[in-house]
Amino acid sequence: MSASLSDSTIAIVKSTGPALRQHGVAITTAMYARLFQDAEVKRMFDQAAQVSGEQPKRLAAAILGYAENIDKLGALDGAVSRMVARHVQTGVKPEHYPKVAAALLPAIREVLGAEVATDAVLDAWAEAYQFLADILIAKEDIAYQAAA
């Protein structure tokens, strides 16, 4: 796990805020369509929240919150705690995170287009995603151990 994100990654991710605000739900909807091609992963999710659109909206808001606060991660402590609790409740494991990245990053390009979601943007989001995933995995490990 990297101790911190690069300045260029922080700047690029923050710069995507307006696009995420406008297209976030479309991105997360496209991401879930990709992710749910894996039946095992699909079973982990409340499908009623997918049908109602609540889950894509919540994830879009979380991604936007991360982009807007990537330079002050302490502002996300409450959201991270809620994610950890939900992930532990639903059985999210470290091996699930790469599957989400493999669905999210192409969804960003699909929705925003290659002119906006350049290789540099996707590289920055890949770094930022892995950084957050590492934080969540570490906190989830502690929660799983406490529950055992």
CA–CA dist 120, 56 (Å, integer): 25
66 in active site: no
pLDDT tier for residue 2 given thresholds of 50, 70 and 90: low
Active site residue 54: no
Annotated catalytic residue: which of 32, 127, 129, 140? 140
> What does the pLDDT read at residue 109?
97
pTM: predicted TM-score of the whole model, two decimal places: 0.93
For residues 16 and 68, give the distance between their C-alpha atoms in angstroms, rounded to a whole number: 9
- Tens of pLDDT, residue by residue over 90-135, are 999 999 999 999 999 999 999 999 999 999 999 999 999 999 999 9
Catalytic one of 32, 66, 97, 129: 97
Give the start-to-end residue ranges of the domains of the chain.
7-147
| CA angle (93 as vertex; 70, 96 as ends), nearest 5 | 70
Contact 31, 104 (CB under 8 A): yes
CA torsion through residues 96, 9, 82, 35, sign: negative
CATH superfamily for domain 7-147: Globins (1.10.490.10)
At 46 the pLDDT is 87
* Segment 49-88, tens digit of pLDDT: 998 999 999 999 999 999 999 999 999 999 999 999 999 9
- Check residue 24 and give its pLDDT: 97
67 backbone dihedrals φ, ψ, rounded to 5°: -60, -45
